[in-house]
Chain A
Amino acid sequence: MSDQVLWYTTRGSGAVTLLLLSAVVVLGLLARLRFETRGWPRFLSAAVHGDLALMTLVFLLLHIVTAVVDPFTHLGLVAAVIPFGSYYRTVWLGLGTIAFELLLAIIATSLLRQRIGARVWRGIHWLAYASWPIAVIHGIGTGTDNTAIWMLAIDVVCVAAVVSALLWRLLAAPPDPLADERRVAAERASFGTGR
């Protein structure tokens, strides 16, 4: 019975992690788009984005710990830390491990953003574009519920939300009204100081 509780927790927290992670990605894109409405000021997208990311990490750790501890699968800690270190469903679990570790890097650098500077932080934040799709593939590939209607519905909703936000982000005009002037000025400045 307790084994089953662990297994159900792994599955449930995996689905919740996917939902939360997708919401985090969408909110991040909204922040980048400088989205705002009357009831949703600009700072809110980034603020909720960060808070939800931490909550995602909690569910993700629950997902990983219950999977590792579960005596039936016998995964062991190595599979959770070393990509493709699992004998069981090596590729699919390895993808999950990679997505997890990319997310860890993104969150850790965000917490240290003031110290490491905007440029490094932003560069590492781009890993989100790898972490999210890898996580989705991990779920579709090895999820126990991956053929259940409700899980497919969650997959569809998450992918549709992220893809639409991403398209919006790509097709929208640069939100900075002085974007062109800024680029020229920056080039001139870096030329002047030899950086």
Chain B
Amino acid sequence: MMSDRVMLGIDRIKCDGHGVCADLVPELIELDDWGYPIIRSGAIPQSVLPHARRAVSGCPTLALRIQSLATRR
């Protein structure tokens, strides 16, 4: 069975730089000097996935999503 490899994706238009995601998954996201997220490239480790999901649902502007690595943009 192929492992379902996913990554975090972000809609830069929607993102307002609240910084909530970096609080919730510091493993995957750090903030730039203006408070906007920089997402670590590559697949989300299984252990971090629940935190990534929380960040997605906690994003104030719904700018964050979890997507398949294959559909990366």
Chain A: residues with CB nearer than 8 A to chain B? 31, 34, 41-43, 46-47, 113-114, 117-118, 121, 176-178, 182, 185-186, 189
Q: Please tell me if the beta carbons of B20 and A43 are within 8 angstroms of each other in the complex.
A: yes
Distance in angstroms from B34 CB to nearest chain A CB is: 5
User: How many of chain B's residues touch chain A, expressed as a range?
Assistant: 10 to 19
B62's contact among A41, A47, A113, by CB below 8 Å, is which?
Answer: A113
Chain B: residues with CB nearer than 8 A to chain A? 13-14, 16-20, 23-24, 34-36, 57-58, 60-62
Chain A positions within 8 Å of B34 at CB level = 177-178
Chain A positions within 8 Å of B36 at CB level = 178
Q: Is the interface of A mostly helix, strand, loop or mixed?
A: helix
7 A-B residue pairings within 8 Å (CB atoms): A31-B60, A43-B24, A46-B20, A113-B62, A121-B62, A178-B34, A182-B16
Q: Please tell me if the beta carbons of A114 and B58 are within 8 angstroms of each other in the complex.
A: no
Q: How far is the CA of A113 from the CA of B56 in the complex (A)?
A: 11
Chain A positions within 8 Å of B35 at CB level = 177
